[in-house]
Amino acid sequence: MKELVEYMVKSLVDDPERVSVSELEGEQSVIYEVRVAPEDMGKIIGKQGRIAKAMRTIVKAACVKSGKKAVVEILE
């Protein structure tokens, strides 16, 4: 799942080197914290959060197979 988040974020930013995704495991869910270069923030959020929403939807779909809830958070 972490690879999925990384893959999506890296394919959308200008500076893939500065993408970091950390995984925080909870009992029922996993939180993925995404950090990118400040110039790339807009690119992974999108207009009206369109891209961030799309990424979350895809992660949610991928969870169907793994069975564990995943949350994507974008941090400044």
Choose between 4 and 41: whose C-beta lies nearer to another protein.
Answer: 4
Report the distance separating Cα 73 and Cα 71, nearest Å: 6
Q: What strands lie across the sheet with 20-25, from one edge to the other?
A: 20-25, 29-35, 69-75
- Told to check if 3 binds another protein by CB under 8 A, we report yes
Tell me: does residue 61 bind another protein (CB under 8 A). yes
Query: Is 11 near another protein (CB under 8 A)?
Result: yes
Residues that bind another protein (CB under 8 A): 3-4, 7-8, 11-12, 43, 46-47, 50-51, 53-55, 57-58, 60-62, 64-66
